[in-house]
Amino acid sequence: MRRCVVCVALLALGMLWSAPAAAGLFGDDADQKPQVSDSAIAEIERALDDQRYLDAGRMLDQVALASEDDPRIGVLTGELALARSRPQDALARFKMLDTVAAVRPRALQGEGIALAALGKTDEAIPVLQKAVAEDAGLWRAWNALGVECDQRHDWAGAEAAFEHALKASGDSPIVLNNRGFSRLSQNRPDEAIADFVQALQKKPDFASARNNLRLAIAMKGDYQRAVSGASAADRAAVLNNAGYVAMLRGDYAAAKELFGQSMKAKGEYYGVAADNLEMAKTLEAGKPGPARKADAGSH
């Protein structure tokens, strides 16, 4: 089981940078580049937070024309690369900036997240720890630390990191989902359900939290409630996952029924559910078998 573009009109060019006081758009010195305004940086950050990556990229291109040496632009470019699943590009960008005092903590945060995405977790953890040591408000670094602790079954470390991330982010739905998944992994379904519900209250279209909520409900043995309301497109996977949880709980009769319903809902051969059905039969007979499969559940 495992772990979020619409376009809007771009801001007018004049809003993307500000010239020095008492000067023209580019200042009196023709060689002096204007400074990128704080409001322009904030607008790009909002676009990244809203997953409007096309907008963010276009605005970054514009402000780079104004002041390509501004380290904040470098950090945001790295964060956009992360959002676009290009961690190697992001890592290279962040490494160029992790000695620049003005942006060092945030560059370290991005560097640690990129390392984790590349599977270099032993390198990622100390970098993320440096980031939060320098700026305790970096919730994404805390969140990444929580996920890393979770994957190592360091439950106390994960809980502490997610608590910091929630405080710093104002209860981000991303962090709530991740803490819920951690608690679900510890067989604490009631607490996990509370986190998933809160995440969905903040972000109703959060598919990962909704899938995880279904798994948590199934873990309590309420399989029909876990699968209720699933769309036609998702129903086969939802039924399979409920069956998977039932099988983990040793409820083989329910598991077989759910896997059968899953294959029927698929309308064509569904290898995952078919394999799981055979696994449930094998386990019910008291025999060892191959690995079981779920289609959902993630940080």
Phi, psi of 283, rounded to the nearest 5 degrees: -65, -40
Which of 134, 159, 175 delimits the end of a domain?
134
Question: pTM of the entire structure?
Answer: 0.81
Identify whether 158 is part of a domain: no
Which DSSP symbol is given to 133? H
CATH number at residue 110: 1.25.40.10
172 assigned to some structural domain: no
Q: What is the pLDDT of residue 67?
A: 77
- Mean pLDDT, 10 residues at a time, the chain of 299 residues: 38 32 34 73 93 94 84 96 97 96 97 97 97 98 97 97 98 97 96 98 95 96 94 94 94 95 95 95 77 55
The verdict on residue 24 lying in a domain is no
For residue 232, the tally of other CB atoms under 10 A from its CB is 8
What pLDDT is recorded for position 65?
84
Among 112, 134, 156, the domain-final residue is 134
Identify whether 199 is part of a domain: no
Ramachandran angles phi, psi of 2, nearest 5°: -160, 165
- Return d(Cα 104, Cα 126) in angstroms, integer: 14
Q: Which domain holds residue 101?
A: 33-134
**Listed residues 98, 114, 134: the one ending a domain:** 134
Q: What angle do CA 289, 277, 191 make, to 5 degrees?
A: 90
Has residue 205 been placed in a domain?
no
Q: Classify residue 200: in a domain, yes or no.
A: no
Residue 18 phi/psi, 5° resolution? -130, 135
Give the three-state DSSP class for 2: strand
Closest CA to 76 of 101, 27, 109: 109
Tell me, yes or no, whether 41 lies in a domain: yes
Number of domains in the chain: 2
Please tell me the predicted confidence (pLDDT) of residue 286: 86
Whether 211 is covered by a domain: the verdict is no
Two tokens, residue 178: 């991740």
Indicate the SS3 state at residue 172.
Answer: coil
